[in-house]
């Protein structure tokens, strides 16, 4: 440690340069506790604070709604936040600000680029990390005062955070010495309660992000339900379509059958008319022949016999034609019934 005389000159209102900062860190505990800082984290006119492995409140597993407070010997050098997860994190650096120095807290864009939102206050106040010794009345560095931040994974992918990751950027200013009084933060216990880690409850974490996450899973399951309903409706429409086609085919078959039957009736009617006309013609012819030549009994009989045979042949041919038409109609109906029966059984 340096004596008061060897101290660098204070310039109230001025930003500490990297050299000022390094000198302070190497020669005093006016900013951090000795051994808790790293020269590699000096950047420009500032310092990037690092993620610690204790004093954390993190989900039991990525995506879990139960949160556990990590403190003491129970360290966690690495944890993963699923989208929508939140956590309370603390720095490796232990603070012991003197009453004439302050710092502003800034974000790291690298974290934002990974989808990590860091919720933080704006300043580290003069005296942060100091306490008054009751006996001597001297303000001395606290044993273990950290900066706490709340983080939320607002990106689409899981984010793994490891001990030593930079989590915020501080810039330091000299200020006129302020009145010496304790600077308190909300405290790890209070923040643990905010995350419901004290009860290890099912609804841990920051409710806004949890609600967004729950809402998303509800929307997804509702979308799945709607998709299922749409597929079911599509199946029903398909079935109805098939049933409608079957009914149309049945109706078509019935119409065909009716038309066959009516054709058969027409053919039969034509046959009856033809047979009747033929009979009448035959009788008239017989009578004519009988009147014209009474003495020609043999050939007359032969002609009448021939006409009779002709009449019989015509009658048989007519019966055969009607039978064929009837047979077609019956066959058509049978095959139509068979098709209807099959599609009916397929449902
Ligand atoms: O993100 C932050 C910001 C600040 N601090 C520490 C350093 C700071 O000196 C102290 C108080 O900060 P702030 O005044 O922002 O917190 P507060 O709880 O609003 O304080 P108060 O209600 O006492 O004014 O907490 C953190 O741990 N994290």
| DSSP β-bridge partners for residue 106 | 169
Mutate to test the pocket of ligand 1, among 124, 142, 173, 175 (most ligand atoms within 8 A of CB): 124
Position 334 scores a pLDDT of 56
At residue 281 the predicted structure's pLDDT band, cuts being 50, 70 and 90, is: confident
At residue 346, the pLDDT reads: 40
Confidence of residue 97 (pLDDT cuts 50, 70, 90): very high
Closest C-alpha among 269, 224, 257 to residue 328: 257
Instruction: Measure the CA angle with vertex 74, ends 71 and 77; round to 5°.
Output: 95
Average pLDDT over every residue of 168-189: 95
How many angstroms separate the alpha carbon of residue 185 from the centre of ligand 1? 5
Question: Which of the residue ranges 222-226, 300-304, 338-342 has the most confident prediction, judged by mean pLDDT?
Answer: 222-226
pLDDT tens readout for residues 27-39: 999 999 999 999 9
Name the average pLDDT for the chain: 88
Single out the residue of 45, 139, 147 nearest to residue 100, CA to CA: 139
Tell me what pLDDT residue 27 has: 95
The pLDDT, as a whole number, for residue 347 is: 41
Q: Is 121 in the pocket of ligand 1 (CB under 6 A)?
A: yes
Per-residue pLDDT band at 336 (split at 50, 70, 90): low
Angle, CA 49 vertex, CA 45 and CA 52 arms, to 5°: 170
Centre of ligand 1 from the C-alpha of residue 125, in Å? 8
- Tell me what the mean pLDDT of segment 94-102 comes to: 98
* pLDDT for the residue 132: 97
Q: Give the whole-angstrom CA distance, residue 199 versus residue 72.
A: 18
Of all residues in the chain, what percent carry a pLDDT higher than 90?
63
Indicate if the pLDDT at residue 342 is higher than 90: no
CA dihedral 156, 158, 159, 163 (to 10 degrees): 170
Q: What are the C-alpha distances in Å from 249 to residues 46, 253, 327, 329, 339?
A: 85, 6, 21, 17, 9
Q: What is the pLDDT of residue 332?
A: 59
Tell me how long the chain is. 347
Whether the predicted pLDDT of 335 surpasses 80: no
Instruction: Give the position, in ligand 1's atom list, of the atom nearest the Cα of 185.
Output: 25
Q: Beta-carbon neighbour count of residue 37 at 10 Å?
A: 21
Structure tokens at 207: 């409710």
How much is the average pLDDT of 177-195? 93
Query: What is the mean predicted confidence (pLDDT) over 177-197?
Result: 93
Please tell me if the CB atom of residue 148 comes closer than 6 angstroms to any atom of ligand 1: yes
Ligand 1 pocket test: which of 185, 191, 192, 194 has the largest number of ligand atoms within 8 Å of its C-beta?
185
ipTM of the complex: 0.96
CB 100, CB 175: distance < 8 Å: yes
Q: What is the position in ligand 1's atom list of the atom closest to the CA of 186? A: 18
143 pLDDT band (50/70/90 cuts)?
Answer: very high
Q: What's the confidence (pLDDT) of residue 343?
A: 43
């Amino acid at each position: 440690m340096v004596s008061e005389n060897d101290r660098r000159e204070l310039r109230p209102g001025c930003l500490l340069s990297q050299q000022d900062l390094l000198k302070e860190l190497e020669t005093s505990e006016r900013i951090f506790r000795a051994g808790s800082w790293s020269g590699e984290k000096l950047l420009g006119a500032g310092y990037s604070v690092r993620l610690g492995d204790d004093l954390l409140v993190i989900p039991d597993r990525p995506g879990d709604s139960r949160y556990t407070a990590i403190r003491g010997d129970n360290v966690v050098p690495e944890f993963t936040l699923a989208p929508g997860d939140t956590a309370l994190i603390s720095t490796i650096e232990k603070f012991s600000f003197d009453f004439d120095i302050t710092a502003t807290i800034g974000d790291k864009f690298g974290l934002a680029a990974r989808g990590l939102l860091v919720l933080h206050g704006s300043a580290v106040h003069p005296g942060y990390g100091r306490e008054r010794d009751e006996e001597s009345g001297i303000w001395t560095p606290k044993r273990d005062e950290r900066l706490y931040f709340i983080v939320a994974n607002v990106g689409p992918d899981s984010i793994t955070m490891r001990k030593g990751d930079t989590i915020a950027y501080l810039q330091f200013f000299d200020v006129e010495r302020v009145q010496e009084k304790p600077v308190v933060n909300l405290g790890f216990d209070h923040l643990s309660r905010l995350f419901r880690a004290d009860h290890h409850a099912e609804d841990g974490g920051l409710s806004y992000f949890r609600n967004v996450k729950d809402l998303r899973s509800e929307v997804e399951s509702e979308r799945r339900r709607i998709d299922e309903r749409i597929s079911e409706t599509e199946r029903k429409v398909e079935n109805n379509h098939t049933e409608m086609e079957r009914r149309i085919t049945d109706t078509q078959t019935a119409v065909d059958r009716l038309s066959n039957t009516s054709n058969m009736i027409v053919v039969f009617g034509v046959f009856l008319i033809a047979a009747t006309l033929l009979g009448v013609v035959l009788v008239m012819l017989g009578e004519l022949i009988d009147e014209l030549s009474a003495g020609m009994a043999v050939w007359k009989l032969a002609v009448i016999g021939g006409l009779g045979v002709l009449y019989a042949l015509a009658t048989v041919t007519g019966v055969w034609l009607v039978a064929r038409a009837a047979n077609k109609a019956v066959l058509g109906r049978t095959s139509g019934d068979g098709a209807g029966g099959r599609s009916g059984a397929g449902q």
